[in-house]
Structure 1
Amino acid sequence: MTIEVVDPADWRQAASASGPLRTFNEAGVIDAADVHVAQRLAAMSGESDPVVLLAIAFVVRALRGGSVCVDLSTIEAQVGIAELPWPAAGEWLAAVRASPLVGSPTVLRLHEDNLVYLDRYWREEQQVADDIAALLAARASASSPAIEVNRLFPPGYEEQRAAAKIALAQGLTVLTGGPGTGKTTTVARLLALFAEQAQLAGKARLRIALAAPTGKAAARLHEAVQSQIDKLDAVDQQRVRGLQATTLHRLLGSRPDTSSRFRHHRGNRLPHDVIVIDETSMVSLTMMARLLEAVRPQTRLLLVGDPDQLASVEAGAVLADLVDGLGARHDTHVAALRRLHRFGESIGQLAAAIRGGDADRVVEILRAGDDHIEWINAADPTPQLRNVLLPQALELRHAGALGDTAAALATLDEQRLLCAHRRGPYGIAHWNHQVQRWLTEATGEPIWSSWYAGRPVLVTANDYGLGVYNGDTGVAVLDGTNRAATPGALRVVIAGAQEPLKFATSRLSDVETMHAMTIHKSQGSQADDVTVLLPPADSRLLTRELFYTAVTRAARKVRIVGPECDVRAAIARRAIRATGLRSRLQP
C-alpha cells in the first residue's frame, strides 16, 4: 500500500509529534488525538521511549475504533502499510513491559503478553470475567423444582424448548439468534416457567426486569414480550402480569452527577430475581461491567441478542465474546436459535447469505428481487430515493401540522433511510438536507427554522432528568392547544418504552434531524421499509456486520442502494475488534 501523507493543515495533523509518532501521524495511521493522549500519559510517568509512545497512540486509536486493546503482534498486518518503520513485535512488547507506565501508578496493562490496554479497560474486562464466573458458580450450587417444559414448548418449538432447558439449568444464559428466530417467544414463555418454578418452591412472586440499551429497543421489547404473554393461558398470564421494559440506564439508576456510575452497584445491587437484557450486542464493555456488578449472585440473568450484528458504538464486543468464550466451557451452554419463524422469507435468506459471507448468493438474491427486496444499482440513485423518501416526509409534515402524535410516530416507523457515514454524499447530513429541500419544493413552504412540524428527530445524548436517551426517536408536532406554526407552539413527542413522552422543543438540545440515520444508530429498532445506502467499496466503515445489521432492520421490505462491487466489498470485510474477554472466559 502507498503511504498517503496527510496535509499539514488537516485537523488530524499533530504539530507537536516527533519520531515514529510524527511518521505514523503524517501517514494518516494515527490521528492528532492519539498523539496528544500518548504524549500526555508518557509525560506523567516520565516515559520517553518513542516506541512506547507509539504503542500508547495505537491503544487510543484502537479504542476509537471500538477495540478494548491493541495486539502489537498483528497491528502491522491490520494497517497494511509495510513501508512504515514498524518496530519488531518482540522488541516493541519488551519495551512496553519495561516501561514505567506498567508500574505504579499503572497506565498500561498487558494480557497474554501481546494485548496492550489502558488500565481502566483491562480492569473492566477482568471484572466482567470475574462477575460472570461468580454468576455461573452461584447457580451451579443452587437447586430448583423440576417443571414440565413441554407444556409451553410443544412440538414445533424444538429449538426454543432446548434453549429453555438450558436457561432453567443456569443462572446466566446467553440467548442468540437473528430476527424472526423466536427469541421473544422464548423469553416470554421462559419467564412463565421461571414464575412457575418459583411458585412450586413456595417463593413469592418473581421480581422480573426487562431492559434494553435504548428507549426504542425497550419499547419494542415491551410490546413483543407482552404480545407473547397475551397468548399464554390465564394462569401463566397471571404469573407474569404487569411486566414493563425500561432502558438499561434507567434500570441501573441514572445519577445526575455522573454518566458513568449508577445508583445500583456492588454495594447496592438490583433487587430482581430475573433480569432480561435485549439487544446485548449494543452493550459496551463499560456498560456490561456496570450491569454485572449490580446483579446479585442468585439472580437469573438472560442476555439476548444477535452476535452477527454490529458491536456497541463504544469499546467492546461483549456479546460475541460471551458466545465464543462461554461456548468453549463445559459448565455452561449458549442457547442459539437459528430457524426462522417470522421475517419475509427472502429478507431472511439475504440476511443468512450476508452472515455466511456468501457474496454470490447475496448478489443472486438481490438480482432476483421480489416484493420484499429491491436493488437500486444506478449511477445516480437520487430520483429513486426521492420517490421513496419524500412521501414519508410529507406524511410526517401533515401529521405534525395536525398535532396527531399517534400518526406521526406510526409514520416514523414506516420507512427509514440508513447510511454508514455521517458526512459526505453517502452520509446522513447530506440526505437530511436533501429531503428538507424536496419538502420545501413539494409544499412551497420554506423551512426557516431548525424546528418545524413533522421534523423527525433522533436523540444523540442521554438526558437523565428528562428520561430520554441516546438513540430515542420522535417527531415535532403542533401543540393541540396552540396551532400557531411557531417553534414555541411545537412539541416533540418521543417514543418511550411504555408511552410517548412530550416536551417543548427548547428542552431538547441534543437532537438531530432524522430523515436519514446511521446504521449504528438504527440498532435496536426496526421499520417496515428500510433503504440501505451503501458507501463506496473503499470505505473503512463498510463491513459484513454493518450490511447485516442494516438489512435486518427491515420488517417487510429492504432496498439496497449501491453497485455490485460495494455489495461484495461489504461481505468480504469483517469488523474485527481486539479484546481479551473471550480468552478470559474460556476454561
Structure 2
Amino acid sequence: MSQYIPFEIKNLFELQFFSSLDYYFARSMGKAFKESESIVLASCALVSKVLSDGHICLDIKEISKTIISISKLSDDKVKLPGFDIWVKALKKSSMVSDTISTPLVMDASHRLYLSRYFDFQNRLICNIAKRVSLEPLTMNETVIDEMLAACLTGKDKHILNQKNAVKNALFNNFTIISGGPGTGKTFIISIIKKTVLSYAAKYNLAQPKILCVAPTGKAASKMDQGSTIHSVLKPLKNKSGFYYNKDNPLLVDVIIIDEASMIDISLLTRLLDAVPTAARVIILGDKHQLSSIQAGSVFTDICKVKNHSRNIFFLEYNFRSKGKTGIENLSKAINNNDDKGLEYILTSKEFPDVVFEPLNDKGIPVDLVKRHILEGYKSYIKADKIEAALDELDSFKILCAHNSGEYGTLQINHVCENILRSGNNFDIDKKPFKKIIMVNTNDYKKGLFNGDTGVCFEEKGESKAFFKTFDNNIKQYRTLDLPDSDTAFAITIHKSQGSEFKTILIILPDRLSPVVTRQLLYTGVTRAKARVIIVGDLKIIKKAISLSVERNSGLTEYLDRQLHSNNLFNCEHSSS
C-alpha cells in the first residue's frame, strides 16, 4: 500500500529521491545561511534535482498541484506542501530573494532558480534584447536582392520564405531560423556567407570576419570552415570559464550558430556574451528536436516568443523529399501526435523507405535484427582501406533510446560485435575487425571532441584509432591515448543529434520511460536520409508521440516581455 512521505530532505535522501549532490548541496547552503526550515532545505534539493532533469527552474505553482512518485520502483508519493505555505516559507528564508545575491532566486511567477541559472537566463534575455533593439544595418537592398536572385531563383512561397530569412540575417543583428532536415538550413548558411563577403568586396569594405560554430564536432563538420563552440571560446586551464568572454570578446562580424537545439543555456549565454553586440548573430536549429542533455530547451523557448517574430523564421518545406517520402510523413505524424497516420505509415507497406519490425513475445526479433545489422554494416566491414571505412560511417547507424537494458546501446553493441566478428559474415575472418568508436569528452590537445566518431582496429599488434578531420584528412592515435570513448555501432538518439545517416535502425524498448517521447522519436527518425527501420512495440510508439518534453524556464515569458517593453534597464545590472 502506498504512503505519502513528508517533504523533508533527510527522509527523501534515504529513499534515494534526492541524489547525494542534491542532498549535500542543500545542506551546505543551509549551513552557510543558518537555515533549518525543512521546506526550504528540501526545496533547495528539489531545484538541484529538476536541474539534472533539464529544467532551468522549479515552478512551484505547477508542481504544488502534482503528485510526485518517490521512484519507478515504489508507489510511495512525496507529500508536497500547499502552495501558500510553500511560498511563505521561501519568502521568510535568508537563502531566497529575487536577486542573485542568494543561492535561490524566486521570481514574481513563483519559479525557484539556483542563482547561477537565474543569472544565465537574465544575461541571455538581455543579450538578445539588446541585439534586437539595434537599428537595421545600412545596406543597399537593391544590390542584396540582385545577389540573392542568383542563388534563390523562383517565386515559390517556400523560396520566398528562405529569401526573407536570409535578408533578415543580412540586415539585422539577431535572427533565428528553425527547420527540419531538407528545409535548406545548410544552403541558407552558405548563401549568407557568400552574400556578406560579396557585398563587402563590391564596396571595397574590409573583409568581414565570419565564424561558423556548432556544439559538436560532427555538427561543425557539416559547415564550411566550421568549429565547435568550445574550441572557439577556448576553455581556461584548471578553472571554469573561457578565454573569450564579455570582457574579452571574439573578433567577429558575423557568427552563424548551427544545431542550436543541442546547446544548453549556460553555453549559449557564454557564447553570446563573447560576441560583440554589433556583430550579426544567426542561430539555426530544429525546434522539434531533442533539447540539450544539460539544462534548458533554449532554442525551442526562443522560437515560442511572439513579440519581434520578424526575427524568427520557420522553414517547413522539405526540398529534399517534397512531401513524398515515408520518412517525412512519419516525422510529421510524430510531431502532430497523429497516431492513426503513424500506424498507417509503419504498417501499410506504402512507403518503401520506412520499415517496421514489431517486437515479438521474446522481445527483439533476433534474426530480423541480425539481417539488418549485416546488411547495414556490410560495406563498412568489407572496406579494405581506413579511408573507405571512415567514408562508410555515415551509411548506417543503430539508434537506441537508452544506454542500459536489453534494448540499450551497451547490449546492442555487444550483439553487433558478436555478429560482425563471426567468420561466416562476408568472409570477415579474412579481414581485421574494425570497431566503430565515439569520443565522449573534449580533448583540445589531440583535437578530438565529444561526438567525434572513428574506426579502431589492430595493426602490427597495436590497437590504433583513426578519425577524419573537418578538412578530410585522417588523424591516427594509439587507442590507449584516446580520451574517454565507447563502442559506437549503436548510439543513443541523443548522441546522434547533429548527424545524418543514409539508413537508420532504431531499436526501441518494450515499455515507456521518461526518455521515450515525441521529441526522441522525431529526432531518431529524422537522422535517416534514405531509409529508417524501426524495431518496437506499436502501442508504445503511439503512446510515446503523445508525450512531449516540456522543460520549465522563464525564458519565453521574460524575453517576450523584455522585447515588448523594449526597456533594457534591468540588463544594465545583469551579472557577467
CA shift digits 1:145-197 (9 cap, x unpaired): 22214343221422211222322331110011000111112221222222233
Instruction: Decide whether the 8 Å contact of 1:476 with 1:492 is kept in 2.
Output: yes
Q: Are the counterparts in 2 of residues 245 and 498 from structure 1 also a CA contact under 8 Å?
A: no
Aligned counterpart for 2:470 among listed residues 483, 497, 501 = 497
Q: Where do residues 90-109 of structure 1 align in structure 2 (5 Å cutoff)?
A: 90-102=84-96, 106-109=102-105
* Residue among 306, 318, 329 paired with 1:340: 318
Contact 1:255/1:464, CA 8 A, preserved across alignment: no
In structure 2, give the amino acid aligned to 1:251: V
> What is the rounded CA distance, in whole Å, between the counterparts of 1:4 and 1:547 in structure 2?
34
8 Å CA contact 2:440–2:483 kept in 1: the answer is: no
In structure 2, relative to structure 1, the CA distance for the partners of 1:281 and 1:366 (3 Å cut) is: same
Q: Which residue of 2 aligns with 1:121?
A: 117
**Correspondence list, 1:151-300, <5 A:** 151-155=150-154, 156=156, 157-222=159-224, 244-258=225-239, 260-300=240-280
Q: Counterpart of 1:375 in 2: which secondary structure?
A: strand
Q: Distance in 2 between matches of 1:397 and 1:66?
A: 38
Asked if 1:319 is matched to 2:303, the reply is no
What SS is found at the alignment partner of 2:198?
Answer: helix
TM-aligned CA distance change 1:398 to 1:83, over 3 Å: closer
Aligned partners of 2:132, 2:113: CA distance in 1, in Å? 26
Q: Distance in 2 between matches of 1:200 and 1:440?
A: 59
Matched, 1:526 2:528: no
User: Match of 2:550?
Assistant: 576
What residue identity is the alignment partner of 1:21? Answer: I
Taking a change above 3 Å as real, the CA distance of residues 77 and 569 of structure 1, as seen in their structure-2 partners, is: farther
Going from structure 1 to structure 2, the CA distance change for 1:46 and 1:577 (only over 3 Å counts) comes to same
- Say if 1:33 and 1:443 are closer, same or farther in 2 by CA, change over 3 A: farther
1:33 to partner: Cα distance: 3.4
Q: 1:29 deviation in Å?
A: 4.3
Q: In the aligned structure 2, how far is the partner of 1:204 from the partner of 1:561?
A: 55
Query: Does the 8 A contact of 1:215 with 1:495 survive in 2?
Result: no
Unaligned runs of 5+ in 1: 6-17, 223-243
Q: Secondary structure at the match of 1:57?
A: helix
Per-residue deviation at 1:31?
3.5
- The answer to whether structure 1 residue 136 and structure 2 residue 112 are counterparts is no
Q: CA contact under 8 A between 2:178 and 2:313: conserved in structure 1?
A: yes
Per-residue CA shift, 1:49-90, capped at 9, x if unaligned? 111112112111111111111111112455555953210112
SS in 2 for 1:73: helix
Structure 2, unaligned stretches of length 5 or more?
70-75, 565-576
The AA in structure 2 aligned to 1:34 is D
Q: Which amino acid aligns with 2:369?
A: L
Aligned to 2:574: none
Distance (Å, rounded) in 1 between the aligned partners of 2:389 and 2:77: 55
Determine the C-alpha separation between the residues in 1 that align with 2:204 and 2:540.
59
How far, CA to CA, are the matches of 2:65 and 2:199 in structure 1? 53
What is the rounded CA distance, in whole Å, between the counterparts of 1:56 and 1:200 in structure 2?
A: 58
Deviations 1:85-113 (A, max 9, x none): 21011221221222111268510011233
1:475 aligns with 2:474: no
**Matched residue, 1:241:** none
Picking from 3, 26, 49, the partner of 1:61 is 49
> 1:316·1:579 contact (CA, 8 Å) conserved in 2?
yes
2:515 matched to which residue of 1?
541
- Take 1:136 and 1:70, find their aligned partners in 2: how far apart are those partners? 29
**By how many angstroms is 1:453 displaced?**
4.3
User: 1:73 is matched with which residue: 56, 61, 66?
Assistant: 61
| Counterpart for residue 352 of structure 1 | 332
Q: 2-side partners of 1:26 and 1:77: how far apart?
A: 24
CA distance in 2 between counterparts of 1:394 and 1:375 reads: 21
On the 8 A contact 1:544/1:574 being kept in 2, the answer is yes
SS of equivalent residue, structure 1 residue 221: coil
Query: Is 2:136–2:172's contact at 8 Å kept on the other side of the alignment?
Result: no
Q: Secondary structure at the match of 1:116?
A: strand
SS for the counterpart of 1:125 is helix
Contact persistence 1:531–1:558 (CA under 8 A) = yes
Amino acid at match of 1:152: C
Q: Helix, strand or coil for the counterpart of 1:74?
A: helix
2:568 match: none
Identity of aligned residues (%): 30
* 2:540 corresponding residue in structure 1: 566
DSSP 3-state at the match of 1:501: strand
Shift in Å at residue 27 of structure 1? 6.2
Distance (whole Å) between structure 2 residues aligned to residue 440 and residue 194 of structure 1 = 51
The answer as to 2:489 corresponding to 1:515 is yes
One-letter code aligned to 2:328:
G
Compared CA separation, residues 89 and 553, structure 1 to 2 (3 A): same
Between Structure 1 and Structure 2, how many residues are aligned? 535
Query: How far off is 1:556 after superposition?
Result: 0.7
C-alpha change, 1:2 and 1:184, in structure 2 (3 Å) is: farther
Q: SS in structure 2 opposite 1:275?
A: strand
Q: Do the aligned residues in 2 keep the contact of 1:159 with 1:337 (CA within 8 Å)?
A: yes
Q: Distance in 2 between matches of 1:41 and 1:360?
A: 51
**Relative to 1, partners in 2 of residues 1:141 and 1:555: Cα closer, same or farther, differing over 3 Å?**
closer
Q: Choose from 406, 420, 427 the match for 1:439.
A: 420
Offset of residue 256 of structure 1 = 3.4
Flag the 1:431–1:4 CA change in 2: closer, same or farther, 3 A: farther
CA contact (8 A) 2:390 2:454 kept: yes
Return the letter of the residue paired with 1:143: T
Q: Distance in 2 between matches of 1:30 and 1:319?
A: 29
d(CA) in 1 for partners of 2:140 and 2:334? 43
Deviates more, 1:349-358 or 1:196-205: 196-205
Deviations 1:487-522 (A, max 9, x none): x2x321123322333211121030011111011111
| CA displacement, residues 277-305 of structure 1 (integer Å, 9 cap, x when unaligned) | 11000011111011101111111111010
Counterpart of 1:87 in structure 2 is 81
TM-score (norm 2): 0.87
Alpha carbons 2:443, 2:483 under 8 Å: kept: no
CA separation in 1, counterparts of 2:43 and 2:127?
29
Contact 1:216 1:495 in 2 (8 A): no
Query: Aligned with 1:528: secondary structure?
Result: strand
Retained in 1: the 8 A contact 2:377–2:396? Answer: no
1:3–1:27 CA contact under 8 A, matched in 2: no
**One-letter amino acid matched to 1:119:** S
RMSD: 2.5
**SS at structure 2 position matched to 1:316:** coil
Q: Quick check: 1:215–1:496 contact (8 Å CA) kept in 2?
A: no
Alignment-derived partner of residue 551 in structure 1: 525
Q: Offset of 1:383 from its aligned partner?
A: 1.6
SS of residue in 2 equivalent to 1:457: strand
Q: Which residue of 1 aligns with 2:72?
A: none
1:420 aligned to which of 382, 390, 401? 401
Change (3 A) 1:151 1:453: same
* Aligned AA (2:61): S
Q: Distance in 1 between matches of 2:64 and 2:416?
A: 42
